[in-house]
Amino acid sequence: MFSKFEEWYRDRHDYARAWKEKSSGKVFGCFCSYVPEEILVAANILPVRVLGSHEPQDVTEPHLFGMFCPFCRDVLAQGLKGRYEYLDGITLAQSCIHLRQAYRSWEQHVDQPFSYYLPHPMSVQSPAAVPYLREELENYKKAVEEFTGSKITNDDLDRGIRILNENREAMHELYKHRIGPEPKLSGKEAMWVTVSSTWIDKEEHTAEIRRVLKLIEEREMDRECGAKLMFVGSENDDIEFINMVESVGATVVVDDHCTGTRYFWNSTADDMNDRIEAIAKRYVERPACPSKDHPVRTRFPHILKLAKDFDVQGVILIQQKFCDPHEADMVPLRKYLEENDIPCLFLEFDVTVPLGPFRIRVEAFLEMVGEEDLF
Amino acid sequence: MITAGVDVGAKTVKIVVLRDREVVATAKDLSGFDQAKVASELLAQALEKANVTQGDLAGICSTGAGRKIVSEATHSVTEVSAGAKGSLFINPDVRTVIDVGAEEGRAIRCTEKGKVEDFAVNEKCAAGSGAFTESMARALEVDVAELGKLSLGSDASVPMNAQCAVFAESEVVSLLHAETPKQDISKAIHDAIASRITSMARRIGLNKEVLVIGGVALNVGFIRSLNEAIEMDVIVADDPEFVNALGAALIAAERAN
Amino acid sequence: MAKYKTEPLKCWAKAKELRDKYYQDYATAHERGGIRWTGGAWSFDAIPYGLGDDVYPITGEPYAASIAFNKEFSLKCMEATEAKGWARDLCSYMRNYWGSMYLNKYNFGGPYPKPTFAFQDHICCSHAKWYQVVAEHEDIPYFNIDVSVGPYHLIKDNPQKIKYIVDQMHESIEFLEKVTGREYNDDKLIEAVKTDMRSTSTWAKICELNKNVPAPLEEKSMYSFYVFGTLSKAKKEFADFYDELYDEVKDRVDRGIAAVANERCRLMSDTQPPWGFLKVFRYLEKYGAISVGSLYTFGLVGNWEVKKDGTWGARETYMEKGIEINTRDEALTALADWTLSRPEWQHFYDPGLKTEMMLRIAKEWKLTGVMLHLNRGCEGLSTGIMENRLGLVESGIPVMTFEGNMGDEREFDLGRTMTRIDSFMETLDLEPISAD
């Protein structure tokens, strides 16, 4: 049922190259989930999120000091190895310093005609954030217009907003099928869907979700659900890891990842006269990355609500090694969840994860979670 | 002119005695706890082999992690200068030297004139040194000398987390549990260390000819993986462990002039 | 026979006294009915001065550096922080600071003095998170100003960027009034903004004197002076001290007094040093090498601009230019504009900008080479450092790197670092002048 998504996940570059040929459109690589894709879609550009490939590599050390996160190094390695050679442009929406470096090194050492550093407010809780981002988005829109040579009209923006929102809505509907005693899809399948949504043409992606949604009610799962878990952390598209977790008696039913719910959870208002302001508002108000979650920790109640709504028995806290923003959240987050009776397992991720030792820890965690069920 | 080079490494002490730029004796022993004593005794042995006395020497240059404890030394240089000097003596076309010893990996870029232009050292990380192959051999329960040969029998590419030696060891255990053939695991180990060394060497740039020195150069599995990683064929120095001592002896001769 | 005359700096005693007083004043502020606040060395410390003359900050970075210098206490702080579950690779300043807070021990004696509020700004990922944790632990109010609007050359033509910061500053004043119950005084703010300009511009003038050969200052001494700009840029006593220091350094230049008697190789460092191991800088002297500064010591505190002749000099203050500052809004706008132009703020966005500035320093300060501290303790200043290395090497400047940590001695290896220096000196064809 999810084979199309699996194929998209696996053959991301083939897809983008084929899309480009078919549509004669341009493809932009997006660094970070804060890139305002509405504007790109409005300009008939395919936004593709740049992710790593989970392979050891030896090309980034001249560019990135080893204390920065494995994800940013893996991302840069893709560029240096020419895997994204089809990109017409790249954009970084400012969040953490780690990915920012991958972007700058990429910009300098990989050829592409367009590169844009989009300053993005870190104090998203300040009333000054939306008006400021609005101006930055205007500048970005102008830069994209200059690059493509055509104006982005309000109609274009409406289309961009609609296409993004439709995909977000479809994702929400799909996620509803992960609630309840017998989720209708595994966490691995959900990961194929959510992660691929960050690079597949959104209308095509939405249509495929809609196709699946028609069939999913009738779906008989050929696997035991086991313990229902949530993943929380930074970027995570590690299929091998989620597969391992789900092979030892668990199903992952929800997440708080920037490659998961944080990416699609909220919509852009489609009834505001100022479209750019509407987009700015969406990106300011979306579930925050820890790098932007201050002074108040808005993430925690949001994560707890997800955990409760999806009725999870435990949370796996996934920490990209050296990721400072997440490291600054993990300790109080774990305390907060445990105080709310949600057990947690903390794991530190590298480019590749040592599946053997992790399996033992996950199994032990599941035993603990299972025991709690008895009482 | 007769000079000697004394390389006091983390694991072994190596000595080269030169007469008019010709090697006349070498000696090697484990460093042990009393490196100064080992170095003195070994120097005496080497001189005896060369049939000269200390008084005949125009200079003694020490190098290596323990270079400052050699009381006989008239000069002292780091492994970077010694390695470059020795390597260019062996092959004047060398532009990149990769030196992998027991505790540290190094890459050195030299100019045509034999000057060190840039160098990189693997920072405090066992994953890029001989210590890594040794601990992996232990985990695999094979002799370290066998480890390299074992990997030649494999064409598999099993990815391993090369960032951390501790993680790597638990990965080896997992692979063993998953009944991965030992030769494939051995290949994965050498790929990992080669990747680590290549990463570091790329910092200074890899230019032909690339000469590999240091004890780990004797590991055929490592050399195969290194050739693949850097996508060119390296040259392995004859007696790679002695190149730094040779370089030190050459420097002693230059300074005596 | 020494190449140059040297003599100790006369300002030492005064510097020490001022620094001690700063930490004592903070600790005892409440006894005098005053306010104490905590925040970063990058904070707009001029703003809280509008609350009155009895406002005493403690800035986290130099406080943590002082802990790092005190190795025994630092280790205890690290362990206290780790015991709470925090990762070992987080900012080591932050970990030292948190540890002191968790242990309730002040590095200058007594219990850790609880601040009234936290006031921070944010340009590095750890900035806002640092005081979020402090505010939670101490149960104090917290305000944070996001300044990450891009490098200064893009700010000038985009008034909305400055406006974003100024809007937050206005908001912060409302916050300050609310949490202290005091009425805010704009005249005091204006005075503080002018003092900030004076102190940071004077520091740049002092650093500029190091273009002279021989250099009148070496970097290890500079650390003891630049620190005032990290403690409080807007404090009158510190600005006055910089005026005095300038006169003394200028006098050294006029009389040809060197910091290092055998200066023959001029270097610069980069990022914060490993504070517990400043002897590394003394080790250089064995080779007649001297670190004459760094972008860090010059540009974290000092404010610079390109002068008519194309070289770097101290940025002219508003006062020197005759620009009046009369209202709160003008003061805040001036403060934002002034602060965001400081060199060390630029590289967060693009390592190319930093490489450019480093090449400028290399040329104008007549350097032979560069020592980059790959500082595991600070993600902010290590940002892009490998690209800086490449950029410098490509421009023909010899570079050595050494890995370490500004505040966590467990990640620094003195012996290996000295060997690294030996290797680097060998590549520069320098032999030791003196024994170890």
Write the DSSP string, C118-158: EEEEESSHHHHHHHHHHHHHHT--EEEEE--S--HHHHTT-
Cα C74 to Cα C68: distance, rounded to the nearest angstrom: 5
Distance from CA of C371 to the nearest CA of A (A): 15
- Same domain? For B9 and B99 the reply is no
Which band of pLDDT confidence, cut at 50, 70 and 90, is reported for residue B114? confident
Which band of pLDDT confidence, cut at 50, 70 and 90, is reported for residue B139? confident
Tell me the residues of chain C between 55 and 84 that have a Cβ less than 8 Å away from chain A.
Answer: 84
Q: H or E segment at C372? A: strand C369-375
- Same domain? For B37 and B86 the reply is yes
Give the pair of three-digit tokens for residue A107: 């910009």
Position B174 pLDDT exceeds 90: no
- Same domain? For B41 and B167 the reply is no
Summary mean pLDDT of chain C: 96
pLDDT value of residue A350: 86
Provide long-range contacts, Cβ within 8 A and 24+ apart, for B37-46.
B38/B13, B39/B6, B39/B8, B39/B13, B39/B15, B39/B66, B39/B69, B39/B70, B39/B72, B40/B70, B40/B71, B40/B72, B42/B6, B42/B13, B42/B15, B43/B4, B43/B6, B43/B15, B43/B72, B45/B15, B46/B4, B46/B15, B46/B16, B46/B17
Summary mean pLDDT of chain A: 95
- Same domain? For B96 and B222 the reply is yes
Q: Which residues of chain C have pLDDT under 50?
A: none
Cα A139 to Cα C161: distance, rounded to the nearest angstrom: 12
Q: Which domains does chain A have, with CATH numbers?
A: 8-154 (3.40.50.11890)
pLDDT tens digits, one per residue of B190-241: 998 898 899 999 999 999 999 999 999 999 999 999 999 999 999 999 999 9
Distance from CA of C387 to the nearest CA of B (A): 10
Which of B119, B202, B225 to mutate to probe the A interface, most A CBs <10 Å?
Answer: B202
- Same domain? For B114 and B60 the reply is no
**Closest residue in chain A to residue B192, using alpha carbons only:** A56
Cα B47 to Cα A51: distance, rounded to the nearest angstrom: 60
**HSE (side-chain half, CA atoms, 13 Å) at C303:** 23
Bridging pattern class, strands C117-122 and C35-39: parallel
Among B163, B173, B192, the residue with its CB nearest the CB of A356 is B173
* Chain B residues closer than 8 Å to C419 by CB: 65, 78
pLDDT value of residue A44: 96
**Tokens 């005892």 belong to residue:** C28
Among B65, B78, B203, the residue with its CB nearest the CB of C426 is B78
Q: Which domain range does residue B18 map to?
A: 1-90+241-257
Contact C140, C118 (CB under 8 A): yes
Provide long-range contacts, Cβ within 8 A and 24+ apart, for C138-142.
C138/C101, C138/C114, C140/C114, C140/C115, C140/C116, C141/C117, C141/C175, C141/C179, C142/A295, C142/C117, C142/C118
- The ipTM, to two decimals, is 0.95
Cα C138 to Cα C38: distance, rounded to the nearest angstrom: 11
Contact A288, A338 (CB under 8 A): no
- Same domain? For B139 and B228 the reply is yes
Summary mean pLDDT of chain B: 91
- Same domain? For B205 and B110 the reply is yes
Three-state SS for A305? Answer: helix
Contact B60, B70 (CB under 8 A): yes
- Same domain? For B96 and B221 the reply is yes
Give the pTM.
Answer: 0.95
- Domain count of chain B? 2
pLDDT value of residue A243: 96
Bridging pattern class, strands B2-8 and B12-19: antiparallel
Region B14-31: mean pLDDT is 95
Give the pair of three-digit tokens for residue B43: 């120097």
Distance from CA of A351 to the nearest CA of C (A): 17
Region A111-132: mean pLDDT is 97
Q: Does B113 touch chain C (CB under 8 A)?
A: no
- Same domain? For B36 and B53 the reply is yes
Distance from CA of C139 to the nearest CA of A (A): 13
pLDDT value of residue A375: 45
Contact C230, C301 (CB under 8 A): yes
Which band of pLDDT confidence, cut at 50, 70 and 90, is reported for residue B44? very high
DSSP A148: H
DSSP A122: S
- Same domain? For B118 and B44 the reply is no
- Same domain? For B218 and B105 the reply is yes
Q: C427–B77: do the CB atoms touch at under 8 Å? A: no
C57 cis-preceded (ω within 30 degrees of 0) = no
- pLDDT exceeding 70 applies to what percent of chain C? 100
More confident call, B123 vs B121: B121
- Same domain? For B12 and B71 the reply is yes
pLDDT value of residue A337: 97
Cα C371 to Cα C268: distance, rounded to the nearest angstrom: 6
* Chain A residues closer than 8 Å to B199 by CB: 58-61
Q: B78–C423: do the CB atoms touch at under 8 Å? A: yes
Position B162 pLDDT exceeds 60: no
Q: Residue B219: which CATH number?
A: 3.30.420.40
In this structure, how many other beta carbons lie within 10 angstroms of the beta carbon of residue C351?
25
Among B170, B192, B198, the residue with its CB nearest the CB of A354 is B170
Q: Which amino acid is at A294?
A: H
In this structure, how many other beta carbons lie within 10 angstroms of the beta carbon of residue C308?
6
Cα A236 to Cα A71: distance, rounded to the nearest angstrom: 9
